[in-house]
Chains A and B, each alone.
Chain A
Amino acid sequence: MQNKDIKRLSLILLFAPFALWILLLIILPHIGMVLLSLREKIAPRVYEYSFANYLDFLNEPIYWNTLLRTGSMSLLVTALALLIGFPIAYYIAKIAGPRARGGLFLLCLIPLWVSDLIRAFGWILLLRETGVISNFLMWTGLTGQPIEFLYNDAAVIVGLVYTVILFMIVPLVSTLDGMDNSMIEAGYNLGGNSFTVLRRIIIPYAMPGIVAGCIVTFMLTAGSYLTPILLGGKNSSWFTEQIYNQFITRFNWEGGAAFGMLLLFFTSLVVWLGLKLSGQTLANTVAKS
């Protein structure tokens, strides 16, 4: 009996840090945000509970347009990261030798060693009108005058893809790695051409990895702040920027909290839709990789 109690106690002690982490750093702050988002400012230091902040969002096209814009650009970034990341992951997992693999993985990892800010400045140096690429084009004579690549949506997308692609590659490599090579050979052996093998065998097999990678990249992209701000142009609004503005510039914490919750709901909705459409579950994708 005593032994059982000791076991139970040790289990509780083991579990406690995790439970505390979940409670203190995840659940409580979110409850706080929800409560904050439901307060409406009536006068200085006077608040009332209402849905006014959410109604504000619905009534102001700028807000929901920005959210939709953020969402669609994040989807585009996710799709591009998948298109570029899949061949890289396939190469690392299936074609490169065991020696080269470590090196290739390291190469993918290097961008993460520097901060978001430095990475963005790197892109600025490359893309600006007087930057490396523009100068190179002038030097080769392909163009007569400097070209501005920076300050537009394309620059934002390039910067974001660069930042998130590793999070696409890692789960893809780990699923493709688990795939027996003979599965691919069987696909050819039974009469499939390269396209059939890719479409009917490799992609379905890698689906959990694809979905896991897409969820992570989408979440990271939609929630990113520095890259879209620094590389974006005059019209490139990003939803996180609006959350920041609400909190910091406008001192409207209530509105900012509501926006934060809306971003959470929106991204969760997109992820849920993605899971439904691909027929995957969270348990066999993100939880697995």
Chain B
Amino acid sequence: MQLKTRLAGLMAATMLASAGTAHAETLRLLTWGSYAPEELVQKFEEEYPDIDVEVTFSNNEEMIAKLRATGGAGFDLAQPSHDRIYAAQLEYDIYKPLDLSKIDTSVMEAKLLDGVKANTTIDGEVYAVPHQWGTSGLMANKSQASDFKSWADLCDPAYKGKTSMRLKRTILLGTAFSMGEDPFAAYSDLDKYQGILDKVADKLIECKDNIKAYWKGGDDLSAMMLSGEIVASETWDSTAYKLFDQNSDIVFVPPKEGALAWIDTFALPRKAKADDAAYKWINFVLRPENVTLMSSSTGAIAAVKGGKDLLPEDKKKAVNAAFTDADIDNLKFFANIPPGVEDMEGKTLEKIKAATGG
């Protein structure tokens, strides 16, 4: 994918060079898999012939690691989740403030924009604006697990050996909510948070027996779910929507404790070299006609006004099958991760992985 885009870019560059017009600028995107569909990249390059787009696919952790390794160089636009900006900036100084005047913020859903701004403002400077949002929650095969509705159901002996989860921070938070705790509130008191983590770890170690395997990526999760080897799992909503397409019994289930909502953002790496091109890309993908293209590739909802209506038809159906308005009101947005929490959570996850629970 990356290669193809590069090739396309290269060809465009040679064509331009031979035509002798304006010299080409490169926009180096560091983003999630499927967040730069080829169709959209081509469209962008047609509209701005002097910009070549280079895409590197990654995830939250690797984005930060990559930018940390270079002090924020090597990429012109990054797309970490909104909770991964504040602490990373404080600790590693890898982003630079945005010039909001160059972004068409009027199209953005005000609630999401304000939320992200509040989360990523340091010394009065805003470091990120929202792009798309989605949730982490549960998915279940209705024909075999019709009353699946809580994070705690993953550990229900009724589904012994038939459930799965990813051993990452989402499941720690979900389990904490299911135990009646509010982990986000405890971020301000890390000792208290450690206490919650310990309880969660005990619960999840006890639960190991119930789990078939920890999934590592969308592919193995999909395979287990489609083959019927598991009947329910912790999941990303987009994965669940894709499976709904293939088997309408498999639906995304917002847990009764509230689905965990994330917002992927736009942020400028500190040593980015093509800010103007980056702003052009941001405004470009937020245009209504492009939002639908993007959402059909990512399965996530754009953070623009009426984003849900701009979803392609099949995704809209899947979302409507999963969410009621009450579910949307019940969303728990990931809170900013203060420094040190990743380390505590990482250690807890290692503890769970190493424990012998079955």
Interface residue ranges of A62-111 to B (CB < 8 Å): 62, 65-66
Contact in complex: A45, B213 (CB < 8 Å): no
A128 touches B229 (CB 8 A): yes
The DSSP consensus for interface residues of chain B is: helix
B90-112, CB under 8 A of A: which get 1 and which 0? 11110000000000000000000
Residues in B314-358 with C-beta less than 8 Å from chain A: 339, 342-343, 345-347, 349-351, 353-358
Given contacts A130-B228, A151-B213, A247-B65, contact A235 B354 (CB under 8 A): yes
Partner of A45, one of B91, B354, B358: B91
| Inter-chain contact B358/A248, CB cutoff 8 Å | no
The answer for the CA separation of A131 and B217 in the assembled complex, in Å, is: 19
Residues of A in contact (CB 8 Å), total 28
Residues of A within 8 Å of B355, CB to CB, are 235
Among candidates A62, A65, A230, A248, residue contacting B62 with C-beta atoms closer than 8 Å: A248
Residues of A within 8 A of B353 (CB): 234-235, 237
The one of A237, A246, A248 that contacts B354, using a Cβ cutoff of 8 Å? A237
Asked whether, in the complex, the Cβ of A65 is within 8 Å of the Cβ of B229, the reply is no
Q: How far is the CB of B346 from chain A (nearest CB, A)?
A: 3
Closest to A238 in B: B353
A246 to B350, CA, bound (A): 10
Q: Establish whether residues B212 and A151, one from each chain, have CB atoms under 8 Å apart when the complex forms.
A: yes
Determine the chain B residues whose CB is within 8 A of the CB of A234 once the complex forms: 208, 211, 213-214, 353, 357-358
Which chain A residues border B90 with CB–CB below 8 Å?
44
Distance between B229 CB and nearest chain A CB, rounded to angstroms: 5
- Note all chain A residues with C-beta closer than 8 A to B88: 251
B245 contacts chain A at the CB level, 8 A cutoff: no
**A residues less than 8 Å from B61 (CB atoms):** 248-249, 251
Q: Is A242 an interface residue (CB 8 A)?
A: yes
Q: Are A245 and B346 in contact (CB under 8 A)?
A: yes
8 Å CB contact of B350 from A44, A150, A233, A242 = A242
Q: How far is the CB of A206 from chain B (nearest CB, A)?
A: 39
Closest CB-CB distance, A230 to chain B, in whole Å?
A: 7
Please give the distance in Å from A140's CB to the nearest CB on chain B.
20
Q: In the complex, are the beta carbons of A251 and B350 less than 8 A apart?
A: no
**Chain A residue contacts of B92, Cβ below 8 A:** 45
Query: Among A44, A148, A230, A237, which residue has its beta carbon within 8 angstroms of that of B91?
Result: A44
List chain A residues, Cβ under 8 A from B343. Answer: 250-252
Q: Is the CB of A249 within 8 A of B346?
A: yes
CB of A229 within 8 Å of the partner chain: yes
CA–CA, A237 and B347, complex, Å: 13
CA distance A247 to B65 in the complex (A): 8
The answer to whether A197 has its CB under 8 Å from any CB of chain B is no
Tell me, rounded to whole Å, the shortest Cβ–Cβ distance linking A72 to chain B: 15
Nearest residue, chain B, Cβ from A230: B216
Residues of B within 8 A of A124 (CB): 220, 223
Across the interface, which residues of A come within 8 angstroms of B228, CB to CB? 130
Whether A128 pairs with B227 at a CB distance below 8 angstroms is yes
A44-B90, A151-B212, A234-B208 given as contacts; is B354 within 8 A of A251 (CB)? no
Given A230-B216, A250-B342, the answer on whether A245 and B350 have CB atoms closer than 8 Å is yes
A40 to chain B minimum Cβ distance, whole angstroms, is 13
Q: Are B62 and A130 closer than 8 Å at their CB atoms? A: no
A246 contacts B229, C-beta separation under 8 Å: no
Residues of chain B lying within 8 A (CB to CB) of residue A250: 342-343, 345-347
Residue pair B339, A249 in contact (C-beta under 8 Å):
no
A242 to B358, CA, bound (A): 21
Which residue of A is nearest B161, CB measured? A148
B232 within 8 A of A: no
How far, in whole Å, are A62 and B62 apart by their CA atoms in the complex? 24
Q: Which of B91, B339, B349, B356 contacts A235 (CB 8 A)?
A: B356
User: Is B30 located at the chain interface by the 8 A CB criterion?
Assistant: no
Question: Which residues of B lie under 8 Å from residue A177 when comparing CB positions?
Answer: none
Q: List 10 A-B contacts (CB under 8 A).
A: A128-B224, A234-B213, A234-B358, A235-B354, A245-B349, A248-B65, A249-B61, A249-B346, A250-B347, A251-B343
Give the 6 A-B residue pairs with the shortest CB-CB distance, closest first. A250-B346, A130-B227, A151-B213, A44-B91, A248-B61, A62-B354
Given contacts A66-B354, A245-B350, 15 further A-B contacts (CB under 8 A): A44-B91, A44-B339, A45-B93, A62-B350, A62-B354, A128-B224, A230-B216, A230-B220, A235-B353, A235-B356, A247-B65, A249-B168, A249-B349, A250-B343, A251-B65
